[in-house]
Amino acid sequence: MKIIAFISLLFASPLAAQERAPNHLLGESSPYLQQHIYNTVNWYPWGEAAFAKARAEDKPIFLSVGYTACHWCRVMADESFEDEAVGAFLNENFISIKMDREERPDLDEQFMLVTQTATGGGGWPNSVFLTAEGAPFYGGGYYPRDAFLEVLGELSQLWSEDRAGIEGTAEALSDVVRAYLNRKARARALTPELARAVSARLLSRMDDFYGGFGVAPKFPQESSLLYLLDQAERTADQTLLEAVQLAATGMVNGGIHDQAGGGFHRYAVDNEWAVPHFEKMLYNQALIGRLLTRLNGLQANPDYARAAQRSFDYVLHEMQAPEGGFYASQDADSLNERGEHEEGYFYVWTPEAVREAVGAEADFLIATLNVEEHGAIEGANTLRITDMVQDQARLDAGLEVLRLARLARAQPITDKKILLGWNSEMIVSLVTGARAFERPDYLAAAQASARFIMENMRDNDGYFRSYIAGEATIEAQLPDYASFGRALLALHDADPAGGWLPEAGRIARYVLAHFQEDSGVFRMNAQPQGLGPFIQFDDGEVPSGNAQMQRLLSGLARRSTDVDFIQQANVLADVLSGHALAFPEQRAAALAAVDAQNRGDTGSLRAVAHGAVQVQAKLDRAAGEAHFTILVAKGWHINAHVPLEDYYIPTALSVNGEALGAEAYPEPVITNLAFNGTTPLALYEGALHLTAPIAPGANVVNLALQACNDEVCLAPQSMSFRSW
């Protein structure tokens, strides 16, 4: 684009520096919006006031979308939104709206799609231009100051001279986006064969050398990795397991992992996971921690167990609010010695800085953590591991010294929003970690977060999405409801007496009543927002809303006798599988959820018999034993290993196809129940513990059982647990 001549007037001497009056963001609770209250730009929050002003003054709208921890958002703010000339031009020719993408993921996804459609790429900040009626006609990302002024000048001139062209572009672009947001798909059942085909497609996109998907910038893409891990567990596919392990090892050893403080940065800007984009997001801690926990459960790896727990510990120490919820993120930038914002400054090291911090241990740490002279990040380095660690205890002690030493630096800002969906993912992962690592503090933290949400973020029958500084705001969206329902199911499994299950069911019914389309899928919002109804199938930073809703309905169906949940889980699986198979690379979470509905859950804990039976497995390869705890609800029983009647299905455990002998089972209870008259029954009630020997290497342990009460026997169920 050419710079329009008339904007040259902007380059006259700037206004004298003075304290600016606040703009219309004053009073907004978002920390991101608060950062922009005193910009030169007269920002409005998203809402009718901005659109009414645009209509009244016949101006286009400039929409800038970002988030607190975003490095390039801050750069554009410093270069452009603090610039007098840019502010003057925007204020004269546009109505400007600032949006926190973390508060409004529904609108963020829509307008990111606009930019991707217009330019072929996207990122934050997202810069979108709209008509006064909210129709987008152009989109871009980060612009340097001069390029931004050029774009503003061109678009302003087009608005004045070619309104028909602008409106035609806006209509066409809106139609494309709406078509995608409301796309249809041919129904296709997710068969085991198709699940394997999807695995092969995902595998073909992976980096065989450094692990992960594609090339830089390299994101964790946890939903896809968790899907592959599910398939590896279902099919004993060693290739899939190793592909996920390669990605996990790359992240655990790389600079994307905060080696000193624990936790993971958002993504890497290189293929080797060495140089991250430094913001630390709550959802990454939840999802990467969950992936590492599950990997360690399938094949014990102390590096995975250590990294998962250090990530969870980081969240508990640095991202948990005193009231119980978890904060959203920590910034990529912090102040350097010159008082300037610098990306990653808090986290990087030079050899000199390491020597100053640790003294005699410096050479060991410099060599182990690849701290080089003239490092890749402004001469400094992230800490990363490229060789086998010979002395983990020594390394951990040195890392703790480095962690404490860097506290003398200015620390990154923490975005203290408490987001419902992200907290829910953290709750699920903490419950999983509590069980896997025998950490009751993780369960306590998960319970505290859930109680905080129910006490502070509930809105009559519904919930709010965001909470900060004593105020809950923004109506919750589909991923918020569905993920919180899942979190409550996880808490119920860990704490059956805690009363979590009824609220999970109530949330599901609320979503069914307010979010469901006639086809069976679910809208992002109870009422359409932005460009219209938005049916979310693609995974973003967390699994898609429809994938999460499938998990919630399936989970409720396995833990209750509510026929509606059972039917709705089947209906959603039928329609969701076709959508997921249409674009499997973007919809791995939906595929995993549908597969779980069809073939049962994976993982170490299973709920069966409509919640009457819970099975917890722990395969201890070091001891050569598989331990099973079977919890049978009051009023229910499972048949003994040797029933007294031939037509009862026995409880049976087998390892690699070999049935265990009778000595592996406890003595049954011999009793009479009403439905069996005077004929005695042999059964197990309450808590039952079974142990099976497992060999080194791959093992498949199969457990079969039948649950009955004094009126009915349910269909027999069989479940497999795998380890390598």
User: How far apart, in whole angstroms, are the C-alpha atoms of residue 467 and residue 270?
Assistant: 35
Q: Which of 470, 483, 477 is nearest to 416 (CA)?
A: 470
Res. 11: pLDDT tops 50: no
Q: Is 215 found in the same domain as 154?
A: no
Indicate whether 515 and 399 sit together in one domain: no
Q: What is the pLDDT of residue 190?
A: 92
| Within-domain flag for 638 | yes
Average pLDDT for 153-174: 93
On whether the CB atoms of residues 295 and 248 are closer than 8 A, the answer is: yes
Is the pLDDT reported for residue 18 higher than 90? no
Domain housing 18: 5-181
CA distances from 542 to 285, 482, 539, 637 (A): 11, 12, 6, 38
Is residue 339 in some structural domain? no
Q: Mark whether 326 and 465 lie in a shared domain.
A: yes
Mean pLDDT of the 587-593 span = 97
Q: Concatenate the DSSP letters of all residues of 219-240 into one string.
A: ---HHHHHHHHHHHHHHT-HHH
In a domain, 551, yes or no: yes
Same domain for 591 and 455, yes or no, is yes
- Mean pLDDT over 156-179 rounds to 91
Percent of the chain with pLDDT over 70: 97
Asked if pLDDT for residue 673 goes beyond 70, the answer is: yes
d(CA 489, CA 428): 9
The single residue listed with the structure tokens 């750069």 is 75
Mean of pLDDT values over 70-88: 93
186: in domain: no
Tens digits of per-residue pLDDT, 243-292?
A: 999 999 999 999 999 999 999 999 999 999 999 999 999 999 999 999 99
Write down the H helix ranges in 58-161: 71-76, 84-93, 105-119, 145-161
| 570 and 457 both lie in a single domain | yes
**Would you state the pLDDT for residue 674?**
65
pLDDT at residue 569, rounded to an integer:
95
Residue 671: which CATH number? 2.60.40.1250
**Average pLDDT of span 135-162:** 94
Structure tokens at 677: 């008259």
pLDDT in tens, 111-134: 998 999 888 888 899 999 999 999
Tens digits of per-residue pLDDT, 362-379? 999 999 999 999 999 999
Q: What is the CATH classification number for the domain harbouring 83?
A: 3.40.30.10
Identify the domain boundary among 378, 408, 438.
408
Edge-to-edge strands of the sheet including 625-632? 605-608, 613-620, 625-632, 687-693
pLDDT at 137 over 50: yes
572 and 620 housed in the same domain: no
- Mean pLDDT over 9-14 rounds to 30
Percent of the chain surpassing pLDDT 90: 83
* Structural domain contains residue 341: no
Residue 105 and residue 217 in one domain: no
> Residue 5: what pLDDT?
31
Position 143 scores a pLDDT of: 94
Distance CA 518, CA 362 (A): 64
Mean pLDDT of the chain: 92
HSE toward the beta carbon, residue 480, CA cutoff 13 A: 27
* 262: CATH: 1.50.10.10
The answer to whether residue 13 scores a pLDDT higher than 50 is no
Mean pLDDT value across residues 57-61 = 96
| 136-140 and 267-268 strand pairing | unpaired
Q: Is 200 exposed, middle or buried (0-12, 13-18, 19+ CB in 10 A)?
A: exposed
Rounded to whole angstroms, the Cα distance separating 275 from 22 reads 37
Q: Which pTM value belongs to this model?
A: 0.90
CA dist., res. 533 & res. 279, Å (int): 31
Residue 414: predicted pLDDT: 95
Residue 136 carries which side chain, given as an amino acid letter? P
Q: Is 2 a residue whose pLDDT tops 60?
A: no
Same domain, 379 and 321: no
Query: 295: which 2 tokens?
Result: 């990997």
Measuring CA to CA, which residue among 57, 58, 63, 56 is closest to residue 41? 63
Name the more confident of 80 and 531: 80
Instruction: Report the DSSP pairing between strands 681-684 and 637-639.
Output: antiparallel
pLDDT, position 612: 93
Tokens of residue 674, six digits: 């009403």
Confidence of residue 185 (pLDDT cuts 50, 70, 90): confident
Residue 294 and residue 206 in one domain: yes
The band of 675, judged by pLDDT with boundaries at 50, 70 and 90, is: low
Residue where a domain stops, chosen among 141, 159, 181: 181
pLDDT recorded at residue 146 = 94
Q: 286 with 428, same domain?
A: yes
Do 618 and 593 lie in a common domain? no
Amino acid at 4: I
8 Å CB contact between 522 and 535? yes
Give yes or no for residue 578 having a pLDDT over 60. Answer: yes
12 has a pLDDT exceeding 80:
no
Q: Which of 690, 687, 685, 724 is nearest to 704 (CA)?
A: 690
Comparing 18 with 449, the larger pLDDT belongs to 449
Helix locations, 515-650, DSSP H: 545-559, 563-582, 588-599
Per-residue pLDDT tens for 460-501?
Answer: 899 999 999 999 999 999 999 999 999 999 999 999 999 999
Helix, strand, coil shares, percent, the chain, to 5? 45, 20, 35
Residue 187 domain-assigned (yes or no)? no
Res 140 pLDDT > 80: yes
- For residue 286, is it within any domain? yes
Among 181, 200, 223, give the residue marking a domain's end: 181
Task: Enumerate the β-bridge partners of residue 141.
Answer: none
CA distance 678 to 81: 84
Residue 338 placed within a domain:
no
Q: Are residues 495 and 374 in the same domain?
A: no
- Report pLDDT for 677: 64
**Per-residue pLDDT for 191 more than 80?**
yes
pLDDT at 95 over 90: yes
Instruction: Tell me the pLDDT tens digit for each residue of 302-355.
Output: 999 999 999 999 999 999 999 999 999 999 999 999 998 899 999 999 999 999
Write down the pLDDT at residue 288.
98
What average pLDDT does the segment 429-437 reach?
A: 97
pLDDT at 626 over 80: yes
Say how many domains are in the chain.
4
